[in-house]
Amino acid sequence: MDIASVIVDVPARQTDREFDYKIPVKWKEIIQPGMRVIVPFGPRMVQGFVTGLKEKSEFKKLRFIKEPMDLEPVLNDELLGLADWLTEEAMCFKVQALQAMLPAALKAKYEKDIEITAGKKNELSSEIRTFFGDRTALPWKEAVDSEYAPQLQKELKAGNLELIHYVKNRSNKKMIRTVRPALPAEEMANAAENLKQAKKQQEIIRQFQQNPSPMAVKDLLKQTGASAGTVKALVSKGILAESEEEVYRDPYENRSFMKSDPFILTDQQAAALEPIKEKIENDQHDVFLLYGVTGSGKTEIYLQAIASVIEKGQEAIMLVPEISLTPQTVKRFKERFGNQVAVMHSGLSAGEKYDEWRKIHRKEVKVVVGARSAVFAPFERLGLIIIDEEHESSYKQEENPRYHARDVAIRRASSHNCPVILGSATPTLESFARAQKNVYQLLTLSKRMNNNALPSVEIIDMREELRGGNRSMFSETLFKKLEERLERKEQTVLMLNKRGHSSFVMCRSCGLVINCPNCDISLTYHRFSHSLKCHYCNHEEAMPTVCPDCGSDHIRFFGTGTQKVEEELAKILPEARVIRMDVDTTSRKGSHERLLTAFGEGKADILLGTQMIAKGLDFPNITLVGVLSADTMLHLPDFRSSEKTFQLLTQVSGRAGRHELAGEVVIQTYTPEHYSIELSKSQDFDSFYEHEMMMRRSSHYPPYYYMVMITVSHEDLMKAVGVTERIASYLNGCLSKNAIVLGPVASPISRINNRYRYQCLIKYKREPLLKQHLRTLMEHYQQEMHSNQLQISIDLNPQIMM
């Protein structure tokens, strides 16, 4: 084939199509679909993805591919097809879909430098010649930052210098230097004999006589105490040969995992596993919803289902939410499947992620355990995809391509003829409704493993506490139970439900709340830097000492941050050892794990944290869970706020009493009568589901209706409103009468970074032409969006309504 169709790394409407390039003769045999290439595009070089090959192009003047970036495709046919589908489903640019499937390390890094045009060195001014010295190229940064920038510009214009663009990989394979014997055994012995004077050299040769396999230079030096010079001498004498070898950066290299054996399943577990195994054995696609209370042994089912996939010679993808991708979870998979497991999560460096990806690509592993993007793992014999905690909103990517891992999983599994398992103690309404209609197969685990009842839950009305004169953030009940645990040397998990309720600063005299100057949202107080920060635009200012409005010095921060709770604990229970887990204490790599390990080893009595502690913890000594403020999420302008509250309360309650000791839960709230809180007392998902479905039906929300959210933003308020209005009326005109188009309404956060934000919401049941209309809209506004004044984002099935 002579021509390659290439998708270029220029994410814009105008360039969102295949471009044809000629393949240089020497690479004709090499270049295949799914490879990355470097191609000229306008004046630059850019990364491209080969999506197809052909003999002829309808275009006349084609340029040549500059060079391949791979020698093997990084995307196979299935994934290339998936990219087409994703582009369509998520309404993104094709290149965004392709890139989403690859580790960041394979994204292009663009660099440029200034080079002396061939044969023009003598034309350069003497100053510039001195500046170059004996170099023929200067890095771009050094050049523009220098005092010679104006002269360089002139020389560029005159053609004596050229600007050259490079495309590189973000990060590379890790190579180490190794040495091995260069001579046959008996000659090695002679060489050792001849080196009597050089003791160290001799010692190294002896070492290789005992074990002639190649050895990392680093290790060799450590082992023999020799210097680098000694090794070099042996290499230059031709006794040892040197080479570079590729190694994996293994984030788990210093840990050993004990082999774990499968449990004998309970009857319930066995009944749930049976139909899954049947689909695996018969190569059939299906979607299972494994609905099992916390601690009911879902993970053991995953492990055994994966084992039967491996036995068949196939591969499995295991997705878990980022925050529950704790060492505890990883350990369970590594213990069962050893080094057949690759792990992918955001705690890894780009290089580590790349290496884990390559293990999959090279078929050196059979299982990947990872967060959302692991759904694109380039396995070719997929036998199973599992999504644990399927209700987690982090499975939806909130930037382009805005995909939901569940949809991708089902798509991939159906093309591989294999099953999908969605697991949860609190499934989304969407999934549960599908299971009710037999679109998904429902599998239920109603009992906890230890046959203990679920922990008993007590709901405390904080308004009563206040009436009774208790102004502390701990109710009397919770305080008493905390004391008990200290006496009994049992552990407590305390959760502060922080979302939408972070610590803001208010003047007690006049009531002024300090807002971000760029966004319509209050600033958050950060104790560490004693400053106020905006979480949307990164604005930061010093904490004022007096109210900027009335001058009063009664200005305080409100809301109960985790730090504040920690302080209060120190006051009321000074003997308690507390570990705090929130964004501040877990931002460093590995800190999350360290804190959890310490808690697991009993180095603290109380684990205090935000939502991040609600999931995945499985420690036998936790007998009390306290939720300090159950309702903070309830009042968010989001139709899923009840669902999310119920899910979170159920999840966190499930941390208590998972083993022999029984568990108790205390939930503090200001709205005990709300059904999502009331029903979490009995962890009664079924009743919650009934009630919530009724609410959704009456207000036309999912799962009864599908939704699309269009957000328009502009610096000019009137412009933002105007465009949203026109979008709404256009859609009203072309959608069916059954569709509901709402808006323009101001977004819940009506201004971010000085841009006003307006929304148009579409609710519909069946609109086959909807995407086409949305595309027309985007094309219509393309020009204005290109000049960057206007931003329009389209979110299909939005998870976050802000």
- Which residues of the shown chain bind Zn ion in the complex (CB under 5 A)? 507, 509-510, 512, 516, 518-519, 534, 536-537, 539, 547, 549-550, 552
Residue 300 interacts, among ligand ADP, Zn ion, none and using kind-specific CB cut-offs from 5 to 8 Å, with ligand ADP
Residue type for position 638: D
Residue 258 interacts, among ligand ADP, Zn ion, none and using kind-specific CB cut-offs from 5 to 8 Å, with none
**Ranges within 300-329 binding ligand ADP (CB under 6 A):** 300
Please report how close the Cβ of residue 431 comes to ligand ADP at its closest, in angstroms.
16
Please report how close the Cβ of residue 715 comes to Zn ion at its closest, in angstroms.
14
Task: Name the residue among 687, 615, 686 with its Cα closest to residue 648.
Answer: 615
By CB under 6 A, tell whether 9 contacts ligand ADP.
no
Q: Between residues 73 and 297, which has the closer beta carbon with respect to ligand ADP? A: 297
Which of 34, 251, 295, 600 contacts ligand ADP by CB under 6 A?
A: 295
Using a 10 angstrom Cβ sphere, with 0-12 exposed, 13-18 middle and 19 or more buried, the burial of residue 389 is buried
Q: Between residues 201 and 424, which has the closer beta carbon with respect to ligand ADP? A: 424
Please report how close the Cβ of residue 425 comes to ligand ADP at its closest, in angstroms.
7
Please report how close the Cβ of residue 323 comes to Zn ion at its closest, in angstroms.
25
Q: Between residues 540 and 567, which has the closer beta carbon with respect to Zn ion? A: 540
Exposure of 621 in the CB half-sphere (CA atoms within 13 A): 15
Please report how close the Cβ of residue 475 comes to ligand ADP at its closest, in angstroms.
28
Backbone angles phi, psi at 269, to 5 degrees: -60, -45
Residue 749 has which token pair? 């956060």
Residue 801's SS3 state is coil
Tell whether the torsion through CA atoms of 734, 736, 739 and 742 is positive or negative: positive
For 254-271, letters b (16+ CB in 10 Å) and e give eeebeeeeeeebbebbee
Task: Name the residue among 266, 325, 339 with its Cα closest to residue 298.
Answer: 266
Tell whether the torsion through CA atoms of 281, 287, 293 and 295 is positive or negative: positive
By CB under 6 A, tell whether 266 contacts ligand ADP.
yes
Please report how close the Cβ of residue 73 comes to Zn ion at its closest, in angstroms.
43
Q: Between residues 269 and 397, which has the closer beta carbon with respect to ligand ADP? A: 269
Which of 5, 51, 178, 269 contacts ligand ADP by CB under 6 A?
A: 269
By CB under 6 A, tell whether 224 contacts ligand ADP.
no
Task: Name the residue among 468, 478, 423 with its Cα closest to residue 630.
Answer: 478
By CB under 6 A, tell whether 294 contacts ligand ADP.
yes
Backbone angles phi, psi at 407, to 5 degrees: -65, -40
**Structural element, H or E, at residue 581:** strand 578-581
By CB under 6 A, tell whether 263 contacts ligand ADP.
yes
Residue type for position 93: F
Contact predicate 358/352, CB 8 Å: no
Residue 773 interacts, among ligand ADP, Zn ion, none and using kind-specific CB cut-offs from 5 to 8 Å, with none
Q: Contacts with ligand ADP: how many residues (CB under 6 A)?
A: 15
* Stretch binding ligand ADP (CB under 6 A), from 263-271, 279-287, 435-443, 587-595: 263-271
Contact predicate 24/43, CB 8 Å: no
Q: Between residues 260 and 518, which has the closer beta carbon with respect to ligand ADP? A: 260
Which 8-state DSSP code applies to residue 254?
A: T
Using a 10 angstrom Cβ sphere, with 0-12 exposed, 13-18 middle and 19 or more buried, the burial of residue 802 is middle
Residue type for position 793: S
By CB under 6 A, tell whether 297 contacts ligand ADP.
yes
Please report how close the Cβ of residue 562 comes to Zn ion at its closest, in angstroms.
22
By CB under 6 A, tell whether 661 contacts ligand ADP.
no
Please report how close the Cβ of residue 793 comes to Zn ion at its closest, in angstroms.
18
Please confirm whether the linkage preceding 744 is cis (ω < 30° from 0): yes
CA–CA distance, 510 with 671 (Å, rounded to integer): 27
**Binding characters for ligand ADP, 611-630, by CB under 6 A (x = yes):** -------x------------
Neighbour count for residue 594 (Cβ, 10 Å): 14
Q: Between residues 117 and 509, which has the closer beta carbon with respect to Zn ion? A: 509
Q: Between residues 549 and 716, which has the closer beta carbon with respect to Zn ion? A: 549
Using a 10 angstrom Cβ sphere, with 0-12 exposed, 13-18 middle and 19 or more buried, the burial of residue 56 is exposed
Residue 640 has which token pair? 């899923």
Question: Maximum Cα–Cα distance for the chain, whole Å?
Answer: 96
Residue 741 has which token pair? 């188009």
Which of 279, 298, 334, 498 contacts ligand ADP by CB under 6 A?
A: 298
**Binding characters for ligand ADP, 120-159, by CB under 6 A (x = yes):** ----------------------------------------
By CB under 6 A, tell whether 270 contacts ligand ADP.
no
Q: Between residues 509 and 531, which has the closer beta carbon with respect to Zn ion? A: 509
By CB under 6 A, tell whether 427 contacts ligand ADP.
no
Residue 769 interacts, among ligand ADP, Zn ion, none and using kind-specific CB cut-offs from 5 to 8 Å, with none
CA–CA distance, 51 with 58 (Å, rounded to integer): 17
CA–CA distance, 192 with 184 (Å, rounded to integer): 13
Please report how close the Cβ of residue 720 comes to Zn ion at its closest, in angstroms.
17
Contact predicate 208/181, CB 8 Å: yes
By CB under 6 A, tell whether 299 contacts ligand ADP.
yes
Residue 292 interacts, among Zn ion, ligand ADP, none and using kind-specific CB cut-offs from 5 to 8 Å, with ligand ADP
* Stretch binding ligand ADP (CB under 6 A), from 59-67, 190-198, 290-298, 562-570: 290-298
For ligand ADP, the binding residues (CB under 6 A) are 263-266, 269, 292, 294-300, 449, 618
